[in-house]
Amino acid sequence: MADLTSRGPQRQAAGEETSSSGGDQPDVRSQRRVAAVSSSALSVARLTLPGIMDAEGRVDESRLRMHIFKNGGVSPSERGLVWRFLFGMYPCSSTALERSLLQEQLVVRYRVMKRKWQQFLSSAVRMHLNGTDAELVAAVRYFDQRQTQAQQQTQDQSEEVRDRLAFLELQAQILFERVTFDHEELREAIRIIDKDVPRTNRDLSYYQGEGSGNLLVLRDILITYAAFHPEVSYAQGMNDLCSRFLEVLDSEVDTFWSFSCYMENSPRTSGLMVCTEK
């Protein structure tokens, strides 16, 4: 299992994509940008670890895990891509081409899922602030700026891409059309999430400065997870766990799916308190 306590990768610019995970990336963590919506470029990126990835992009999982065991982990520049494989977002048996198509599907499905709960409970789309936490007020502003940038990038897509994504969106809408939410349970989960997210370790540089907007990214991921996994919903402590995924993966969509895979393969109540705080 990947190390959840080691430092995350270098930061990328906000928007739809991040750059590939090459070994000679410049250290731009000090920019502290808000996480990308998606990291499409990583779906075709190659691991530089010898003997781990074949010519078409398939990963030998046993060799990857052996490398991690022998070397105590992987370099920060490749950690994000490695986590996508180890936690199950990318099947190790997938080729680079297959991952590129899968990435588009996951982006669209997450967008449809997020929009569904936002339409169901529109009053919870924005975190309610009392104005006394200046950092959170600034975080909302940075988050809104990132949303505007992402919308502009969507508008700049080619007609071919828009048509392909429109078809994927129709498929996703059909997939989730029968999903229903319990109004009171979801409101309660959001209430606790809104208590826990501000408590996330803001001493980490990832959540400082402009990066404070990542707290709002984290909130959206946790609410979407709770809405579509009512058997788990939200439990205290999940914010700290998910925040580590966000710091390493630096992508809203990729964090949601990797975190979901992790939760799917983990004991449901291990180290977590049920969502009953008053």
For residue range 249-262, list pLDDT tens digits in order.
999 999 999 999 99
For 181: left if phi > 0, alpha if psi spans -120 to 50, otherwise beta; the answer is beta
- In terms of residue numbers, what domain contains 155? 29-264
Whether residue 276 is contained in a domain is answered as no
pLDDT of residue 154: 82
Whether residue 4 is contained in a domain is answered as no
Asked if 94 and 57 count as a contact pair (C-beta separation under 8 A), the reply is yes
Instruction: Give the residue carrying structure tokens 């909302």.
Output: 140
Whether residue 204 is contained in a domain is answered as yes
Mean pLDDT score of the chain: 86
Please report which residue ranges of the chain form alpha helices under DSSP H: 61-71, 76-86, 96-120, 134-155, 159-176, 183-196, 214-228, 238-249, 252-264
pLDDT at 5 over 50: no
pLDDT at 1 over 50: no
For 5: left if phi > 0, alpha if psi spans -120 to 50, otherwise beta; the answer is alpha
For residue range 6-50, list pLDDT tens digits in order.
434 333 333 344 433 444 444 434 456 899 999 989 999 999 999
Which residues are 251's β-sheet partners? 36
Whether residue 17 is contained in a domain is answered as no
Mean pLDDT computed over 58-86: 96
| DSSP class of 89 | S
Which residue type, as a one-letter code, is found at position 71?
A: N
Look up residue 204 and give its two tokens: 């980490």
Cβ contacts of residue 17 below 8 Å, gap of 6+?
36, 38, 39, 40, 41
Whether residue 117 is contained in a domain is answered as yes
Higher pLDDT, 202 or 167: 167
Domain count, the chain: 1
For residue range 217-238, list pLDDT tens digits in order.
999 999 999 999 999 999 999 9
Whether residue 88 is contained in a domain is answered as yes
pLDDT of residue 156: 85
Distance CA 217, CA 115 (A): 14
pLDDT of residue 133: 86
| DSSP class of 80 | H
Higher pLDDT, 33 or 181: 181
User: What is the SS3 assignment for 273?
Assistant: strand
Residue 223's φ and ψ, nearest 5 degrees, are -65, -45
Which residues are 53's β-sheet partners? 59
pLDDT of residue 266: 79
Residue 15: name the closest of 105, 108, 141, 146 by CA: 146
Measured in whole angstroms, the distance separating CA 235 from the mean position of its chain's CA atoms is 18
Residue 251: name the closest of 169, 127, 161, 146 by CA: 146
Asked if 193 and 234 count as a contact pair (C-beta separation under 8 A), the reply is yes
Percent of the chain with pLDDT over 70: 84
Distance CA 213, CA 171 (A): 31
pLDDT of residue 129: 86
> 270: exposed, middle or buried (C-beta count within 10 Å: 0-12, 13-18, 19+)?
exposed
Whether residue 156 is contained in a domain is answered as yes
Using CA atoms, how far residue 269 sits from 189, 240, 260, 265, 273, in Å, is: 16, 15, 15, 12, 7
Whether residue 52 is contained in a domain is answered as yes
pLDDT bracket for residue 202 (50, 70, 90)? confident
Instruction: Give the residue carrying structure tokens 């996951």.
Output: 106
Mean pLDDT computed over 175-190: 96
